[in-house]
Chains A and B, each alone.
Chain A
Amino acid sequence: MSDLKLQHLEKIYDNKVQAVYDFDLDVKHGELIVLVGPSGCGKSTTLRMVAGLEDISRGKLLIDGRDVTRMPPKDRDIAMVFQNYALYGHMTVYENMAFSLMLRKENKNEIHQKVLAAAEILDLTSQLNKKPGQLSGGQRQRVAMGRAIVRKPKVFLFDEPLSNLDAKLRSATRREILLLHKRLDATMLYVTHDQTEALTLADRIVCMSMGHVQQIGTPLELYDDPANIFVATFIGLPPMNLFEVRVENGKAYNNEICVDLTAEEKEKLAGYEGRDVIMGVRPEDIAEGGKIMVDVISNENLGQNTLVNGSAGGHKITCKFRRWCSYKTGDSVNVTFRKKHFFDKDTTAAIKG
């Protein structure tokens, strides 16, 4: 397993459309990096550039210190797992897993041992004689991973591998990928649009939008300390509530909401006195009790918590209460904001102080 360096990668298609702008990332040995973002943000394109399936328009790609920017995919020593599994339907699981090694003309006995070892890791030993059509989606995805594992590549690439699975299986397979990562100590690059996958799997997350990297950091950094409004609303479910407020005399207020700022927030917003900013509050940072009144629109009990959608004056607001609630449409509930985030109205960047 190896280090991976993406140095100022850019992708410009022949029709001059630029899909990726100045992507710069150092992936350490054994790290699991998740590229997350909405559809069309350039995350899959970036992965495909690393795989060699797309040409790199600008920048450099180094694997283990070796420049592989112009190298064909087969020589890069990487393995990719696709969303649609890409298994050979006429071959058994064993043959699917052994196929790439057979092409390399490796010793058949060694191939056998590698396939059995991978099957053992992925709990596929009893399925080796079956064809992909006889397997469930999760098992097929495990076969696809097994095919990658047997090659012992320097870097594993996953392109939305769980998107075709149902919710329960997705969660189980996600855990398996995590265990696999720990067991193999492998360098992995993982693409998803599902922020739950990103938060649970990643050592570090790269959040992308419109071809630009918005923020790189640990899951907690992205959740707790988002770099801009995009990251703040993309990471976290339900998304962060945003309010346009004016900062004045130790308060952040608008026509309907008025909150007192803490000493730390006052210090952070010192340069914004008398100016409008965007205030963000995560639904889980809203607690019952307080002076902000929310008119309830809907009440969704999720078991361990309740989502209450409502409006505070003209602003839509989603609250996540940690108990079973039974508010009805038209009820009013007073809430308070525990943790607040502030963003510059013009640049949308987080105000760090």
Chain B
Amino acid sequence: MIAKTKKIHDAMENVGALQAIRYVDPEFIYLAVTNARCATADVFIKPGDHVDCCQVVGMRHGPFFEQPIHSTVSGTFVGIEKHYHRNGKLVDYLKIQNDKKDTLTKDAKQRTPEEIAKLTKQDMTEIIKQCAVVGLGGSSFPTYIKFQTDKPIHTILVNGIECEPFINADHRLLMEYPYRVLDGIKYVMQAFNCKHAKICIKSKYKDIKEVYDQVLLEENYKDSGIELCCVGNYYPQGWEVEMIKNAEGIQLAPGELPANRGIINFNVSTIVGIYKAIKYNMPVIKRFITISGDGIKSPKNFRVRCGTAISELIPLCGGYTEEGAEKVFILGGPMMGASVPSDDCIITKTVTSILVINKRSYQEEPCVRCGSCVLSCPVHLEPVQIMNAVKALDKERIKKLNPLRCIECGLCTYSCTSKIQVTDYVRRAKLFAKM
């Protein structure tokens, strides 16, 4: 109807209450040689080589940064195989047989609290760069670049909102490892020398609130300046602009960096990645994921080794429902996640969830200009006007309508009463506008 869409119907609302199943020792793990941000890479090992856990086995070359590839298990390098990556392309993967001993490289040493207290921001930036910590909310943007800002920071916002339906990875992380999250935040606060930090969660997650209300009373965290901040339950609350608006009351201008306003924000998984890097000098080797959707018999949360093949996890969820039906296989959330053409995918560290949903086809009607997409758009664009401009191939008109501000949240398609794939048109408009 003609109204702003904020809530997205979540058919799997209570999966977050399930404790994550540990599946951390698969027979083989697969490491992506390249990824969406890094197009080329060097591999340092040969088939038959023994690798240690956390050993650097290759180097990815991005447009303005280098990213080491770490082995997430110890074992033997078998060879290179092709599997699907999150971006929907077939990518080379290094296949490593797990010897299940988890022998660490000598680099992975534990730092004592005294050593950590001495670390400066430059030291931490270097550690994070060596450990290849990236934004684990899905952006995979290198975290050390965020650390390089020289703007004064007064507040750290930790994004545990996960506004997309069906996903519970950050929910489980916050529930199961509160000390890692809080210690990670303390390290980041030390690096930026700031006094306040807020963990932002959806206000409907009462269980997380109970845990942190308790933990924050403890001696270590009582006066640390960390607090829990319950924000809205709507979509896209997890987008940084919306989160900063609701947590801090600051409205960022389009394209403005939060650091300009003295705020820096990290996903909660990234915070734990930073914690691991600083405390143990280890990269991200395990993560929480959710396997969900109506195409899965029993949706579950998992804690898995990065590099696990998804096909091993599906049987643990009871397999697929209705074998005959057409399914859509999504890495990420149902609103922004990427659909991959096969279930032969690998969990990389930026995969937050795996959704298998039954394919639904919608009958597209002509647009009746109801304006729901305009009302729903979080960046105040007019998706329907952009769509008409794309249909008319009018480049001037497209540019005037600013499609580059679009964050591809998918609300225009979701809210469309005519079931038109409006987001696709806006994506095309973005290509036009860039030309």
Chains A and B are bound partners: no
Partner-A contacts on B (CB < 8 A):
none
